[in-house]
Each structure stands twice: as C-alpha cells, then as structure tokens.
Structure 1
Amino acid sequence: MNGCDVEPTQLLIFYHHSSYCSAAALQRDLAAVCGWITHVLPCSAAGSDSKAASLHWTAERVLSIALLALGPVAYFSPGPFIDYSLAAALTLHGHWGLGQVLTDYVHGDTKVKLASAGLFVLSTVTFAGLCYFNYNDVGICNAIALLYSK
C-alpha cells in the first residue's frame, strides 16, 4: 500500500483544523510522508474569519447541548421563561441547520442571496409564531405535555 497509516478523511480533517493555509505545501508534505497526493481544498479563511468560523462551530455545539438540557427542564418546570427560551433556541438551531444546507446545495450569487433572504424570513416568521403561541395559547412546554396526556 503506502507508507502512511492515516485515512484521507483524517488528513482532510487535520487540514481543516490546522494552520496550513497553502494547499500546495500540504500536498508536498503528504507526498513526502505518505507517498501519494490527495486532493486538498484551499484554505477557506485566515485570521479573524477562521476565528469567527471556529466560534460559530462552538456556538452550534453549545446550542445543541442546551437544547438537550432544555427538554428535561421544560418537563419538570414549565413556564414562560422556558417557553421563550425554547422558541429562541429551536429557531436558531433550525436557522443554522438550514443555513448549512443552503451553503452545501445552493450555488450562484443571486440564488444564494435569494435563499438567504428566504431563510431569514422563514426564521423570523417561525420565531414570531412560536412567541405568539407562547403568549396567546398554552405555550410550548404545556403543548408538548398535552400531546402525551391522553
């Protein structure tokens, strides 16, 4: 086979989280160590953009963990604070998730702008609808409890 004991996917993950900003330098090093060259994507961002992307990635994970914690909290102590926290967290989680889908599948400047505007409208309407439901009806926590009460 070759002299390298790591998989290409591991190398791409390493490249993504490393300080390499030159695809050519990484390919040269891979060829020297592993005996083969893999397709390497160019460095997407440097400096503050890279830091912002890292912070966004961390925020997505923190939000996911917070949503896991909000489930039991909503069950054991439902109330307006938890209802509105769920409304915000669910909307943001959906917005970020659909944003990643758009990033992966929508191409072209005009299409990206239209899709981003549509996502913003969808997220705004979702949050407003959940807040309206919390204020004028039983709220998210009690609505979920009612689903399981019968």
Structure 2
Amino acid sequence: MSGDHSKLWPIEKAVSIALLGVVPATLLFSNLVLDNIFALLVVAHFHWGLEACAVDYIRPVIFGPVIPKLAIGLLYAISALTLGSLLYYNHTCIGIGCTFNTLWSIKN
C-alpha cells in the first residue's frame, strides 16, 4: 500500500483552500452548482484524511495483508456512497445550501 503521494499532496492542499471559499459561498448563494461542488470537495477532503489514517494505523505488518485492503476498500465504498447520496439529495431535494439556511432560520 505504499506509493508516491507527492503528486496528490498539492491537490489535497488546493481542495482544502478551495473549501475556504466554497463553504461560505454555498451557504450564502445556494444553487445546484455550488451544492455539487461543495459535496465533491467535502467528500474528497474527508476521504483523503481518513485514507491517510487507515494507511498509517492499519498496517499490514500488524494486521496482515487482508485487513488493510478491506479497510481501504470499505473506505472507498463509504466515500462513493456518501458522494452519491449528497448528489442525489442536491438533485432531488432542496440541496445542501438551502438545507443549512432552513436549519439556521428555525426559531424556538
């Protein structure tokens, strides 16, 4: 499971920086394009972070060759399901930005 991640690192940093603008833009100017960009960037950001944790802590030396591959496979499945669910929600319901705005406007 080792490899050269030097090409992915700048992309991860660019996604992190892009989230600084996309999150407030999605909340302020909610539309389908921003909702989809938000969903894609958030899922990618969380996926890469959790993948780094899985690679660092679920090592083949400790767990054998099968469990680390299962963990990474499960992470990919969960990330794909999460992205698919968010995109489905954006296209069939009110979207992520409108949902946050609706929750924010709820009064006691």
The answer to whether the superposition gives a TM-score over 0.5 is: yes
Q: How many residues get paired?
A: 101
Tell me, what secondary structure is at the counterpart of 2:27? helix
TM-score by length of structure 2 reads: 0.86
Match of 2:76 in 1: 120
1:75 is displaced (CA, Å) by 2.5
Give the Cα separation in 1 of the matches to 2:29 and 2:94. 14
Give the Cα separation in 2 of the matches to 1:99 and 1:55. 16
2:11 aligned to which of 59, 68, 84: 59
Match of 2:29 in 1: 77
Match of 1:34 in 2: none
Which has the larger displacement, 54-63 or 112-121?
54-63
Unaligned stretches of 5+ in structure 1?
1-43
Tell me, what secondary structure is at the counterpart of 1:54? coil
Percent identity over the alignment is: 33
Does residue 1:92 correspond to 2:44, yes or no?
A: yes
Unaligned stretches of 5+ in structure 2?
none
Does residue 1:136 correspond to 2:92, yes or no?
A: yes
Letter aligned with residue 55 of structure 1: K
Letter aligned with residue 126 of structure 1: T
Give the Cα separation in 2 of the matches to 1:81 and 1:102. 31
More helix by share: 2
Deviation digits for residues 32-88 of structure 1 (CA, Å, limit 9, x no counterpart): xxxxxxxxxxxx87xxx3xxx222111111101111110221133210000110111
Greater Rg, structure 1 or structure 2?
A: 1
Higher relative contact order, structure no. (Cα contacts within 8 Å, ≥ 6 residues apart): 2
